[in-house]
Amino acid sequence: MASNHYDVAVIGSGPGGYVAAIRAAQLGAKTAIVEKQYLGGTCLNVGCIPSKAMLHIAEVFHSMNTLSDLGIHLPQQPTLDMAGAVAFKDKVVKRMTSGVGTLMKGNNVDVFDGLGTVDASRTVTVKASDGSQQQFSADKIILATGSVPFIPPMPGVDGRNVINSDTCWNLPAVPESVICVGGGVIGVELACMFSAIGSKVTILEMLPNILAPVDDEVRRLMVRILTKRGINIVTGAKVEAVEDENGQKKVIATTDKGQQSFTGEYVLMAVSRRANTSGLEHLIEQGLDTDRGRVRVNEKMETNLPGIYAIGDLVRGAGLAHVASAEGEVAADNATGHEAKMDYSVVPNPIYTFPEMASVGLTEAEAKQKYPEARVDRFPWSAIGKAVAIAETEGFTKVIIGKYGEILGAHIIGPDATNLITEYSVAMRGELTVDEISETIHPHPTLSEGLREAILAAEGRPIHIPPKKQVARAR
């Protein structure tokens, strides 16, 4: 299988790495990929995919509470078998990772199992778990080593029942209570999951608000929803230490009320993630340019070292799997002698809470600051027939329109938001105007009608809610 020289070598097989390897092979390059643990990387094994499997289980379990509203009555209260849930998650992961292996084989990509170390001469040394080593060289190398959870340096964070976003998927039973340190996207998604399966959840966030990058109107509604579900949200909380007390975990934090303590069965550290530079030590010593722990690249994903590219969580950016995949394609194109540049102007951002949130482009605050003439309106899911029929009426679709009819941003909170945002993303990428979207017939009854109605609302001519006191613009 192995050769001692390749056209392109990829270090890391996450959604950026394996896509880069496939793309390079498609373009005719003799390609190798190195993976220290499991094909698919963090995303497929302990991140995106297992989290969505467990979130799905949690959402289905939570929906059992409203079955009687649909005329469905169970003979007894449903319970969650955590071992069965974990087994389902593992089955999903196994299917996805084996699929990546099939893709590597189908594209004639050589797979090296072990930790890959790289130097500036583009020599790769792979050390397997049994201590054996292999070495090869490559004309071009794409670094796709991803990220690992950032654990703040404080007392007690390495103790029993302290988990993170990589290690929270295999718990033996439903936790009685979870203290989530960090109220960003990962923290809130996991807080939703644990709350839905019956855990008492507290979120501790150091900033004034949770979900800081989210459009303010969307964020405020999500805070109300989480609070209604019994999730305790404490903002402005600087966590100082984690301790053990009477078989429980105690988190000590400084808030605007002074020093407070919060007690729970588990502590979930969900502060952020940091770049994984394991195996890149030689490159850094040899001058690989970094910025606060992330590798610097240009729009071609090139580093400052000749023939070496970097993508995904290793570089500064959105920290999203689909962005890493796009960067992988750009890096592979350039590594094989083609010309490609990364464009971050349209990046959809899905958030897998209950209900889901998704956005693309500018928030309302950003748009109003940059484009004072921007029009903004929203349309509630409670006025869309499909949403009412499936009993998913919380939330709205919000669209921000520029003076030429272009979409500056869109924000959805509600059913299937993470899929629906694609329509706005394609429209922005294709520079479609709101007229072109509103004049496109949307199928009925579907949730997609809400996307068109939000645009009509911004133009003063919504169909399924009473009009505001303004003159509607003709088609």
- Catalytic positions are 444
**Dist CA 103 CA 343 (whole Å):** 26
Residue (of 386, 385, 402) closest to 455 by Cα position = 402
Q: Is 99 annotated as a binding residue?
A: no
Q: Is 281 annotated as a binding residue?
A: no
Q: Is 159 annotated as a binding residue?
A: no
- On whether the CB atoms of residues 375 and 456 are closer than 8 A, the answer is no
**Dist CA 116 CA 125 (whole Å):** 6
Q: Is 131 annotated as a binding residue?
A: no
Q: Is 188 annotated as a binding residue?
A: yes
- On whether the CB atoms of residues 175 and 43 are closer than 8 A, the answer is no
Cα atoms in the Cβ-side hemisphere of radius 13 Å centred on 445: 10
**Dist CA 239 CA 311 (whole Å):** 32
Q: Is 186 annotated as a binding residue?
A: yes
Q: Is 264 annotated as a binding residue?
A: no
Q: Is 182 annotated as a binding residue?
A: yes
b/e map of 368-392 (b: 16 or more CB within 10 Å)?
eeebeebbbbbbbbebbebbeeeeb
- On whether the CB atoms of residues 295 and 275 are closer than 8 A, the answer is yes
Q: Return the number of other C-beta atoms located less than 10 Å from residue 14's C-beta.
A: 32
Torsion on CA atoms 347, 190, 267, 81, rounded to nearest 10: -150
Q: Is 261 annotated as a binding residue?
A: no
Collapsed DSSP state (helix, strand, coil) of residue 90: helix
Let me know how many helices (H) and strands (E) the chain has, helices first: 13, 24
315 forms beta bridges with 295
Q: Is 187 annotated as a binding residue?
A: yes
> What amino acid occupies position 61?
F
Q: Is 185 annotated as a binding residue?
A: yes
Residues annotated as binding site for NAD(+)?
182-189, 205
Residues annotated as binding site?
52, 116, 145-147, 182-189, 205, 313
Residues annotated as binding site for FAD?
52, 116, 145-147, 313
